[in-house]
Amino acid sequence: MCRGAAVIDIRRHNANFCREHFLRLCRDQVSKAIRRFGMLQPGERVLVAVSGGKDSLALWDILVGLGYAADGFYLGLGIGDYSDESAGYAHRYAESRSLTLHTVDLPAAHGFDVPGGARAAKRAPCSACGLSKRHLFDEAARRGGYDALATGHNLDDEAAVLMGNTLRWQTEYLGRQLPVLEARDGFPRKVKPLVRLSERETAAYCILRGIDYVVEECPMAVGNKHLAYKAALNDIEVQSPGAKHDFYFGFLERASERFRAEVERDRGNLAPCERCGSPTDAGVCAFCRLTERATAEAERKGAIQLEVRKTPSEAVARATRERSKKERA
Amino acid sequence: MCRGAAVIDIRRHNANFCREHFLRLCRDQVSKAIRRFGMLQPGERVLVAVSGGKDSLALWDILVGLGYAADGFYLGLGIGDYSDESAGYAHRYAESRSLTLHTVDLPAAHGFDVPGGARAAKRAPCSACGLSKRHLFDEAARRGGYDALATGHNLDDEAAVLMGNTLRWQTEYLGRQLPVLEARDGFPRKVKPLVRLSERETAAYCILRGIDYVVEECPMAVGNKHLAYKAALNDIEVQSPGAKHDFYFGFLERASERFRAEVERDRGNLAPCERCGSPTDAGVCAFCRLTERATAEAERKGAIQLEVRKTPSEAVARATRERSKKERA
């Protein structure tokens, strides 16, 4: 029985923790996830996708503490002040710990920012952003020769994504929602070592470790469905502590593999993108197509605003929405 | 284009309805569910489980309107004034339409009520109630020689049950959550013809058809998880109209069968209950065991209150909770 002053209570563990035991709990939970899912081997080189927020900075700090050779990668998304501010937190953390932080600036390197890319591709901002991040994180890990790419997705994130995938029974997404995706065909191994920690815990970890992080949510994400699913799960967690954990880990234990076979079967054959060399099943990869549309849009600005035709993927999405509405009638 | 005055808007259909078109919509949705899932054949005799609430009275009214030979069955659960009041609504509807309503009173026929049964069996009230209803509904349908037993579960009910089953990934329950369970081994066919209607719609149907129903929720259900799941789904539906429909019907179309094989495989061999003759895989059926405990408890009242030992099923539930807590640590 520890006599230290409690700094946090965690209802799903039905326990209070002092500073030292809480920090140890966080490290132990990350260790446990890494071991359980075979995420990393001792001494491997890891690239951590760092946003400047609590999750990615806590992840980086814990991985370094556990002895992994972990460098950071910051991607500037061109979301106004929010991106500048986030970059500052990432850089200050790296400098204070003498860690290596690689950076890429989307507008400088590729000629468009997330708001512009979303407009040009007629995608939701979070969709254009996710596509850009996946592509550029993968590329950075591959070029740097890292063994794995680690992202700061926590239990709240994964449970909310799972809720979205389940509410729509998106069987392909369900089959791919795993804490580890093995390296294949030019994609690096991708791991989510924070899946056993909630966002309240990563925030507390940063505060107790003196890590400053950007507190604001991304302004582009306001009102998106992911946040609505988080709110719904928070309400359920209040009534049933542990509900999020059981939802996510119960899925991995008892349901995930029921959706996996068809994902393996339906996997397209990958070949290098004609423009950037990244693996793709579409000739030109989705990021290069986004870049093309976004930079063309940027050039057109100031000239006559042309009627932008619907993109094929948008037409499909619209048809799906219409069909869904009809089926309810 | 109808010129009638709109009485209700339904956001998931993105439309307003006048009285006549709304009533037709309700009947059409029930017809569609019956046809799509092969619930009933024309002219079949149906026993409707009637609680006195909006769903079961709307169901009975619609089935009669569609030409089915539908009788009602009311089960008095002994939940104080709530049961008396509910019975009144069921009887008044049946009388006003000259329909046949069978009734059984749990305390009079079996010597215990739901609150007492729950206490004696150390079950949640909704659990003791559900067990009693399933048993006595089945028995009434079997004894009356009905082709099917129809219950008033609506889209909100089924979506909330599905959310509970999914949050805990209770694979056995997921494999059995179907709008039709075929007759087998002495169990009647069970059908849920309201799965395409929301509870707001069944309430509006009753009001427009002049059907009085008990408005209060059952007092035993206050604070149960089912209501919390309904609230969570209501929040999601506000942001994404049609979300409940897509959740439930998407499950039936794309996920349900992934959970069904093991339910078929793990089915126990059924034999008549030693006491009541109902099909069971346990010698004495669960309802007869509940009755035994509840009546023994009732007899003991007034005498010395004995220490009631934990029942085996409770010990299992406790062990499961403990194991679950440990796995999160």
B278: confidence class by pLDDT, cuts 50, 70, 90: very high
In a domain, A297, yes or no: no
Q: What mean pLDDT is predicted for residues B311-317?
A: 50
Cα–Cα distance, B268 to A166 (Å, whole number): 30
Q: By three-state DSSP, how is residue A181 classified?
A: strand
Chain A residues contacting B, CB < 8 Å? 12-14, 166-169, 171, 225, 228-229, 231-233, 235-236, 239-240, 242-243, 245-247, 249-251, 253-255, 258-259, 324-325, 327-329
Q: Tell me if A302 is assigned to some domain.
A: no
Q: Kindly write down the DSSP assignment for every residue of B163-200, as one continuous string.
A: HHHHHTT-HHHHHH--SEE--BTTBPEEE-TTTTS-HH
Question: Inter-chain contact B258–A253, Cβ cutoff 8 Å?
Answer: no
Instruction: Report residue B313's pLDDT band, with 50, 70 and 90 as the boundaries.
Output: low
User: Between A168, A236, A324, which is nearest B228 by CB?
Assistant: A236
Strands (E), chain B: 6-10, 15-18, 45-49, 69-76, 101-105, 148-150, 180-181, 189-191, 271-272, 279-280
Closest in A169, A225, A247 to B251, CB measured: A169
CB atoms A169 and B14 under 8 Å: no
Cβ neighbours of B14 in A, within 8 Å: 325
The Cα A74–Cα A213 span in angstroms is 14
Angle at B122 between CA B312 and CA B117, to 5 degrees: 120
In a domain, A215, yes or no: yes
Q: Which residues of B touch A232 (CB under 8 A)?
A: 232-233, 235-236
Residue B83, Cβ neighbours under 10 Å: how many? 23
Residues of chain B contacting A252 with CB distance shorter than 8 Å: none
Contact call for B168 and A246, based on CB within 8 A: yes
pLDDT of the residue at B268:
78
**Residue B327, domain member (yes or no):** no
Collect all residues of chain A within an 8 Å Cβ-Cβ radius of residue B167.
236, 243, 246-247
pLDDT bucket at B293, cuts 50 / 70 / 90 = very high
pLDDT, greater one: B225 or A91 = A91
Distance between start and end Cα atoms, chain A: 61
- For B315, residues 6+ apart whose C-beta sits below 8 A from its C-beta are none
Average pLDDT of the residues in B183-187:
89
* Alpha-carbon distances of A291 from A75, A210, B235, rounded to whole Å: 16, 38, 36
Segment B122-139 shows an average pLDDT of 93
In chain A, whose CA is at the least distance from the CA of B252? Answer: A169
Average pLDDT over residues B31-44: 96
Q: What share of chain B is helix, strand, coil (3-state, %, to 5)?
A: 55, 10, 30
Any domain includes B304: no
Q: Kindly state whether residue B245 falls inside one of the protein's structural domains.
A: yes
pLDDT score at A122 = 92
Q: How far is Cα A124 from Cα B307, in angstroms, rounded to an integer?
A: 62
> So what's the pLDDT on residue B303?
44
Residue B304 pLDDT > 50, yes or no?
A: no
Is a pLDDT exceeding 70 seen at residue A307?
Answer: no
In order of A120, A292, A299, A302, A313, the CA distances from A306 in angstroms are 12, 16, 12, 11, 20
Is A236 in contact with B243 (Cβ distance < 8 A)? no
For residue A309, pLDDT beyond 50: no
List of E strands, chain A: 6-10, 15-18, 45-49, 69-76, 101-105, 148-150, 180-181, 189-191, 271-272, 279-280
Tell me how far apart the alpha carbons of residues A306 and B184 are, in angstroms, rounded to a whole number: 65
The mean pLDDT value for A214-242 works out to 91
Q: What is the pLDDT of residue A165?
A: 98
Q: How many domains does chain A have?
A: 1
> How many CB atoms sit inside 10 A of residue B181's CB?
16
Asked if B166's CB is within 8 angstroms of A247's CB, the reply is: yes
CB pairs under 8 A between A and B: 87
CA nearest neighbour of A135 among A164, A112, A166: A112
Q: Is residue A287 part of a domain?
A: no
How far does A177 lie from chain B, in Å, by closest CA?
15
Whether residue A45 is predicted with pLDDT greater than 70 in this model: the reply is: yes
pLDDT in tens, A149-200: 999 999 999 999 999 999 999 999 999 999 999 998 889 999 999 999 999 9
Q: Cβ A247–B329 below 8 Å, yes or no?
A: no
Residue A236 banded pLDDT, cuts 50, 70, 90: very high
Please compute, for residue A320, the number of CA atoms within 13 A of its CA located in the half-sphere on the CB side: 9
Domain of residue A35 covers 6-270
Q: Is the Cα dihedral B215, B221, B224, B226 positive or negative?
A: negative
CB A216 within 8 A of CB A68: no
| The pairing of beta strand B69-76 with beta strand B45-49 | parallel
Q: Would you place residue B308 in the very low, low, confident or very high pLDDT band (cuts 50, 70, 90)?
A: very low
Confidence class for position B317, pLDDT limits 50, 70, 90: low
Closest alpha carbon to B300 in B288, B290, B310, B308: B308
A205's tokens? 């970890």
Tell if the CB–CB gap between B167 and A243 is shorter than 8 Å: yes
| Predicted pLDDT of residue B320 | 59
Closest chain A C-alpha to B139 CA, distance in angstroms: 34
Chain B residues within an 8 Å CB radius of A251: 169
By mean pLDDT, which of B117-126, B173-182, B311-320 is the weakest?
A: B311-320
The mean pLDDT value of chain B amounts to: 91
Pick from A27, A234, A46, A228: nearest CA to A140: A46
DSSP A266: T
Residue of B21, B161, B166, B321 to mutate for A, most A C-beta atoms under 10 A: B166
Which residues on neighbouring strands pair with residue B70, listed in sequence order? B46
Q: What is the CATH number of the domain that holds B10?
A: 3.40.50.620
B315 has a pLDDT exceeding 60: no
B247 neighbourhood in chain A, CB within 8 Å: 166-169
CA distance B59 to B48: 8
Segment B58-102, tens digit of pLDDT: 999 999 999 999 999 999 999 989 999 999 999 999 999 999 999
Instruction: Provide the total of helices (H) and of strands (E) in chain B, helices listed first.
Output: 14, 10
Closest CA in chain B for residue A255: B169
Give the closest residue to B156 by CA, choosing from B223, B90, B201, B205.
B201
CA distance A308 to A304: 12
Contact A149, A188 (CB under 8 A): yes
Residue of A nearest to B14 (CA): A325
Residues in a beta bridge with A47 = A71, A149
Mean pLDDT within B293-306: 69
Segment among A45-54, A239-248, A297-306, B259-268 with least mean pLDDT = A297-306
For residue B314, name the pLDDT band (cuts at 50, 70, 90). Answer: low
Measured distance CA(B270)–CA(B243) in Å, rounded: 38
Whether A169 and B253 lie within 8 Å, measured CB to CB: yes
Contact A236 B249 (CB under 8 A): no
Contact A169 B247 (CB under 8 A): yes
From A165's Cα to the closest Cα of chain B, the distance in A is 10
B305, pLDDT greater than 80:
no
Whole-angstrom distance, CA of residue B61 vs CA of residue B202: 11
Q: Give domain status of residue A37, yes or no.
A: yes
- Would you list which residues of chain B are within 8 Å, Cβ to Cβ, of chain A? 12-14, 166-169, 171, 225, 228-229, 231-233, 235-236, 239-240, 242-243, 245-247, 249-251, 253-255, 258-259, 324-325, 327-329
Please tell me the predicted confidence (pLDDT) of residue B221. Answer: 86
Predicted ipTM of the assembly: 0.87
CA B291/CA B298 separation, integer angstroms:
10
The Cα–Cα gap between A200 and A129 comes to 24
What are the pLDDT digits (tens) for B243-275? Answer: 999 999 999 999 999 999 888 887 778 899 999
